Amino acid sequence: MATTATTASSIPADAARRPASQWWIWLMIAGLALLPLLGGKTGLISNYSFLQLSLMIVYAIAVLGLILLTGFNGQISLGHGAFFAVGAYTSAVLIDQAGWPYWATLPVAAIVCFLVGYIFGMPALRLEGHYLALATFALAVAVPQFLKYRHFEWFTNGVQGINIFKPDPPFGLPLSADQWMYLIVLLVAVLMFWIARNLLDSRTGRAMMAIRDHSMAASTMGVNVAHYKTMVFGISALYTGVAGALHALIFEFVAPDSFRFELSIAILVGAVVGGIASLPGAVIGGIFVQVIEKYADALTKKLTAAVNLPLDLEPWTIYGIALILLMYIMPMGIAGGLSALWRKLKGP
Amino acid sequence: MTLATRRSLLAASGALALALAVSPASAQKKYDEGATDTEIKVGNTNPYSGNASAYGTIGKAIDAYFKMVNEQGGINGRKINFISYDDGYAPPKTVEMVRKLVEEDQVLFVFQTLGTPPNTAIQKYLNGKKVPQLFVATGASKWGHYKENPWTMGFQPDYVTESIIYAKHILANVQDPKIGVLMQNDDYGKDYFNGFKQGLGKDADKLIVQLATYEVTDPTVDSQMIQLKNSGANVFFNITTPKFAAQAIKKAAEIGWKPAHYLNNVSASIGAVIKPAGFENAQDIITAYYIKDPTDPQFQNDKDVVEWRAFMQKYYPTGNLIDSSNAYAYAVSSLLQHVLKQCGDDLTRENVMRQAANVKNLQLPMVLEGIKVNTSPTDFYPLQSVRLARFKGEKWELFGDILSNESSTQ
Amino acid sequence: MEQLLQQVASGLANGAIYACLALALVMIFVSTDHINFAQGELSMFSAYLVWQLMQWGMNFWVALPIVALLSFLIGVMVERVILRPLHGAPVLSIVVVFIGLLAIFHSLAGAIWGHTIKEFPSPFPNIAFAGSGYIGPHQIGMILVTLLLLVTLFAFFRFTPLGLAMRAAAQNPASARLAGIRVDWMLALGWGLAAAIGAVAGSLVAPAVYLEPNMMASILLYGFAGALVGGIASPGGAVAGGFIVGVLENLIAYFGNLLERSTGVYVIGNGEKLTVALIIVITVLTLKPSGLFGHVTVRRV
């Protein structure tokens, strides 16, 4: 396998198998879209649950952005939280300062983040592995400082953050704001995953993966490595930025403190745990980011109650152990592990 | 009308008048979500992890306090179910956890949520849902704006009040003041700084010769302290959290800078800040005092402190006895206990707010004698008084009168 | 002028902190080719162990070697038990394992000792000397110990058979095995040494910044930047890198402040100094990718 610093798992070998399994994905999406009807009125699915679902999808989009860059193009990023923040702030500032409607801010956030990613991708061309890791780490650290920068305060509102309002369902539809947000997020996610799927299946996708596997060979084959690498950085930033914008709408508040370094690490962990080079992996990763802390918290509380330890056990310990165990059992991520299992079950 | 009828009419009207005049703790039981005959659910978020994890002890101390209250029979026969979640000081997490508390756990109200950005993030939601955001654990001045946010109430003397008091003291006591400020670059620091400028008046920009900021992620504030010394400042306003306060005090001594030093109350703990910084380096520092510091020698045998220590040992044995956050938690929990008791059997959210806005001259344990809680429908700042103290030897020497800034929205 | 000197001195003092951590990072990188993101938390945990021993009455200079040995064993164990089974795994999976270790050590320290800051007395005698106004005795002590560590490591790698074996194992595991070197144990040794160095680093840092679980979190970035800008494969380079980053950051703040005071225009200040320093570091790296003192390794296609 490749010896570059960011090895990814092999291209999903089930490329040929996909057409057959497509229909059930669309069925699942339809089911998800109908949830507000089923759940809302009957009270089976609470608004809070829709909030949780929306967040899982938002993080899935964010993780997808990272996966496109790292899993499918071999460039590491420890700083994707930066693009998340840029997307969130773009949306919030447009709503707050310019009075734009929420849906119009999403494309702008996408474009702004693409540009930021593309521009960052240019010097990043010269950096690889650890050096790129440092550069992206620096980006993650720099963005909150930019948001607090004195000369930007007139539109970022500095440390106090910006308050915005969650969109209301249009045309007086009988949906709660949470359900409407959920549908928006679902629609955006379906669109973006569909685009990603098509991107990866195209020539661009193959070029991306060729660069990941052996960039020297790819360039000798005529692939314009520089062009693709910066493009992918831009696209990757675009995806995570849109996730950030959606996140801002969901929480109706952005502040520099919301986008610290921990966010970048969470996205990275989600990507690896989900499956660094797989689209289903992005979905699993998004779910993981959203639920792991609750499970760690709940488990910690149960353990503390059950066993009388001389110390105040903290959720991060459980979280850390979970990460290590997951990497043990499934070093290719959950998606990788599941597909290996599937292949084994199907037989030779 | 016969005499008998008149008498019975009088008696009846007397009884009616009495019934009307009686305190809200009347016989009729009224509940909103989170309150029943046997329990009251109280929600909270605290930073148990992350940069601000040092404050997580407050949540644990509150939990311990209500364990104690429950063991003693609860409040009006009801047990307190204190549900607290970690938000890591990240506003989105706070929103999520508070929504969980309100929508899933169905708490009656939210209490002592910690941090300015986290509380800013949840303020709109809670006011929209008409859930009390009670006695928030931050001194930002915005929590007393009862007109815009009638469901939000602060607790501690707010930062603006405190810094105005420092500013006035400087103007009255320092000849030709040249002020250097060290400020944590976030909402809490900004609030103190703005209040300070307000207190200095129109010459504020001339009087402040250097503002040095730092981030919570900075390893040290040494270079900022060097900057401040070299600016020629003879007054130092120290807006820092405990770790950086200790560093600043120590560094000032190391580089031989001896300004008139004003330290924000947030970092006035002897055990957690002054002692690590070095007693000899902290002489003559002035702060605004309102919580009895349990490591202050003058309170060693104080009745409150002895009681508090017993509480800590029994109910929160892993808690740190030198951390005055644990004293703060004790005081504010006591306030909540009082308010809930006052509610009697009317445990609607509206009544909780009404009773919270109806506390008169309450002396809380672990708060300095004479500093009392006062609230009213137009005064949502429970504690607004402090006493100035100067550090001498190994303790805080109180001086001057109690300084207040009763009522008035900042 | 005076302030400039003070800022440089302070920068060197901070730089010593970063250099120490950078040294531990280089140690693991040289032996295993990985950047150990959990290094900061391991160091912090070791510092707490030293603190605990001192609470029980031990002298710092007795406690430190004990904890260094203990940390060495912990490091070896971590490599053998947790990392060994993952030798063939993708790099990012190993990064996630490091993050897991980071979370575990961080929260264990908080769980055992709490989150309130603790005083950690300086082991260096508080003697006044010339230049006291610029730099304190602890900072001088830190710089000296860092340099001493550096020299010791250099000598170890250059002049001892074991050091040579470790370098061989890292550079060419296959050939090293053929030469009879137990490559697996060399990796474990690398980890053990890094953990021991980290213990020293943590114990030196704690008196300056106060002991608490978040102590090393931000320092890791500085150590990482310092190690890379100096040359991640070179201990001397890493140490130089650490000092450079420390001084650079203070100089940026100093000049930004100077600009503001003389012209009244605020361009950069304390909030931006780290960002600018990192931009400079990254620019250096784009121009000289192997770091200031590193060598370019040519890879065969």
Q: Are B119 and B133 in contact (CB under 8 A)?
A: yes
Q: Is A171 a domain residue?
A: yes
Q: Which amino acid is at B12?
A: A
Q: Would the pLDDT of B359 be above 60?
A: yes
What is the structure's pLDDT at C221? Answer: 86
Domain range for B132 is: 30-157+301-384
User: Would you state the pLDDT for residue A128?
Assistant: 80
Percentage of residues in chain A with pLDDT exceeding 70? 92
Q: What percent of chain C has pLDDT over 70?
A: 95
C-beta neighbour count of A254 within 10 angstroms: 31
Residue B1 clears pLDDT 90, i.e. is over it: no
Whether B203 maps to a domain, the answer reads yes
Compute CA distances A25 → A30, A31, A53, A65, A282, whole Å.
9, 10, 17, 20, 15
pLDDT tens, position by position, C156-193: 888 898 888 888 887 788 888 888 888 888 889 989 99
For residue B103, the number of C-alpha atoms closer than 13 Å in the C-beta half-sphere is: 19
Q: How far is C291 from chain A (nearest CA, A)?
A: 10
- Cβ <8 Å between B227 and C209: no
Question: Do A276 and C92 count as a contact with CB atoms less than 8 A apart?
Answer: yes
How far apart CA C286 and CA C22 sit, in angstroms, is 20
Q: Rounded mean pLDDT of chain A?
A: 87
Residues comprising chain A, all counted: 348
CA B239 to chain centre: 16
Over residues B252-294, the pLDDT tens digits come to: 998 889 999 999 998 998 888 999 899 999 999 999 999 999 9
Checking if the pLDDT of B410 tops 50, the result is no
As given in the structure block, the two tokens for residue C177 are 């095995």
Q: How many independent structural domains does chain B possess?
A: 2
Q: Is B129 on the interface with A (CB under 8 A)?
A: no
pLDDT value of position C130: 54
Q: Which residues pair with B373 in a beta bridge?
A: B362
For residues A85-99, give the mean pLDDT: 93
Same domain, B212 and B307: no
Task: State whether B133 and B226 are in the same domain.
Answer: no
φ/ψ of B282, rounded to 5, equals -105, 10
Instruction: Give the gap in angstroms from C-alpha B115 to the nearest C-alpha of chain A.
Output: 11
pLDDT at A20 over 60: no
Does C136 sit within 8 Å of B223, measured CB to CB? no
Which residue reads 């650490």 in tokens?
A: C242
What are the pLDDT digits (tens) for C67-90? 999 999 999 999 998 888 888 788
The answer to whether the CB atoms of C133 and B255 lie below 8 A apart is yes
Above 50 in pLDDT, residue C24?
yes
Within a domain: B146: yes
Query: For residues A155 and A20, which has the higher predicted lDDT (pLDDT)?
Result: A155
Query: Is B283 found in the same domain as B169?
Result: yes
A78 belongs to a structural domain: yes
Please say if the pLDDT value at position A57 is more than 70: yes
| pLDDT confidence band for A14 (50 / 70 / 90) | very low
pLDDT at position C131: 56
CA angle, residues B301, B306, B308, in degrees to nearest 5: 145
Dist. CA B385–CA A244, nearest whole Å: 43
Which of C119, C136, C219 faces B275 most closely, judged by CB atoms? C119
C265/C270 Cα distance (integer angstroms): 14
The CATH number linked to B63 is 3.40.50.2300
Contacts of B117 in chain A (CB under 8 A): 159-161, 255, 257-258
For the purposes of burial, counting CB atoms within 10 Å of the CB of B138, is it exposed (0-12), middle (13-18) or buried (19 or more)? buried
Instruction: Tell me what pLDDT residue C261 has.
Output: 84
Which residues of chain C lie closer than 8 angstroms to B57, CB-CB? 114-116
Answer whether residue A16 shows pLDDT above 50: no
Among the partner-chain residues C116, C218, C257, the one whose CB lies closest to the CB of B54 is: C116
The pLDDT of residue B43: 96
Q: Does B173 touch chain C (CB under 8 A)?
A: no
- Between A314 and A175, where is the model more confident? A314
Q: Does C268 touch chain B (CB under 8 A)?
A: no
Which DSSP string do the residues of B198-253 spell out, in sequence order?
A: HHHGGGHHHHEEEEEEE-TT-S--HHHHHHHHHTT-SEEEEE--HHHHHHHHHHHH
| C-alpha distance from residue A170 to each of A102, A164, B74, C299 (Å) | 12, 17, 48, 59
Please report whether residue A306 resides in a domain: no
Q: How confident is the model at residue B409 (pLDDT cuts 50, 70, 90)?
A: very low
pLDDT score, position A254: 92
Q: With respect to residue A289, please indicate whether it lies within any of the assigned structural domains.
A: no
B325 assigned to some structural domain: yes
Give a yes or no: residue A39 inside a domain: no
- Same domain for B268 and B357, yes or no, is no
Give B347's strand partners. Answer: B31
Contact A217, A100 (CB under 8 A): no
CB within 8 Å: B100 and A258: no
Q: Provide the whole-model pTM.
A: 0.89
More confident residue, A176 or A106: A106
Residue B65 has pLDDT above 90, yes or no: yes
- What would the mean pLDDT of C200-220 be, rounded to a whole number? 90
Residue A278 placed within a domain:
no
Q: Is B291 helix (H, G, I), strand (E, B) or coil?
A: strand
Cross-chain Cβ contact A253/B217 below 8 Å: no
Residue C17, H or E segment:
helix C2-32
**Enclosing domain of residue A97:** 48-262
pLDDT for residue A21: 62
Which residues of chain C are within 8 Å of residue B53 when distances are taken between CB atoms?
Answer: 110, 115, 213-214
Residues in chain A within 8 Å Cβ distance of B60: 312
Question: Nearest-CA residue of chain B relative to A249?
Answer: B92
- Please say whether the beta carbons of C165 and C176 come within 8 A: yes
* Cβ contact B181:B196 at 8 Å: yes
Residue A162 has pLDDT above 60, yes or no: yes
Residue B28: pLDDT above 80?
A: no
Q: Which of C146, C193, C147, C148 is nearest to C166 (CA)?
A: C193
- Does residue B339 sit within a domain? yes
For chain A, the chains sharing at least 3 beta-carbon pairs closer than 8 angstroms are B, C
Read off the pLDDT of each residue in A77-90 and give the average, rounded to a whole number.
Answer: 94
Instruction: For residue C239, give Cα distances in angstroms to A89, C27, C203, C242.
Output: 38, 12, 17, 5
pLDDT at residue B142 is higher than 90: no
Report CA-CA distances (Å) from C277 to B270, C23, C32, C222: 36, 20, 28, 10
Q: Is B96 on the interface with A (CB under 8 A)?
A: yes
Q: Where do we find the tokens 């002396």?
A: B363
State the pLDDT at residue C125. 79
B152 and B174 inside one domain: no
Higher pLDDT, A117 or A126: A117
Say how many domains are in chain A: 1
Neighbors of chain C by Cβ distance (3+ pairs < 8 Å): A, B
Q: Is B108 a member of any domain? A: yes
Q: Is residue B401 part of a domain?
A: no
Give B182's strand partners: B212, B238
Indicate the residue among B266, B289, B312 that finishes a domain: B289
Residue B73 has pLDDT above 60, yes or no: yes
Are residues B139 and B172 both part of a single domain? no
Q: Are B151 and B191 members of one domain?
A: no
B48 and B132 belong to one structural domain: yes
Residue B402 in any domain: the answer is no
Q: Which residues of B touch C269 (CB under 8 A)?
A: 213
User: Is B358 inside any structural domain?
Assistant: yes
Q: In three state form, how does the secondary structure of chain A look?
A: CCCCCCCCCCCCHHHCCHHHHHHHHHHHHHHHHHHHHHHHHHCCCCHHHHHHHHHHHHHHHHHHHHHHHHCCCCCCCCCHHHHHHHHHHHHHHHHHHHCCCHHHHHHHHHHHHHHHHHHHHHHHCCCCHHHHHHHHHHHHHHHHHHHHCHHHHHHHCHHHCEECCCCCCHHHCCCCHHHHHHHHHHHHHHHHHHHHHHHHHCHHHHHHHHHHHHHHHHHHCCCCHHHHHHHHHHHHHHHHHHHHHHHHHHHCEECHHHHCHHHHHHHHHHHHHHCCCCHHHHHHHHHHHHHHHHHHHHHHHHHHHHCCCCCCCCHHHHHHHHHHHHHHHCCCHHHHHHHHHHHHHHCC
Q: Specify the amino acid at residue A277.
A: A
Amino acid making up residue A27:
L
Lowest mean pLDDT across A76-80, B188-192, B402-406: B402-406
| Residue (of B263, B248, B140, B153) closest to B194 by Cα position | B140
User: Is residue A219 domain-resident?
Assistant: yes
In tens, the pLDDT along B281-336 reads: 999 999 999 999 998 888 989 999 999 999 999 999 988 898 889 999 999 999 99
Please judge whether B187 and A160 are an interchain contact, meaning their C-beta atoms are less than 8 angstroms apart.
yes
Residue A12 has a pLDDT of: 46
Same domain, B93 and B49: yes
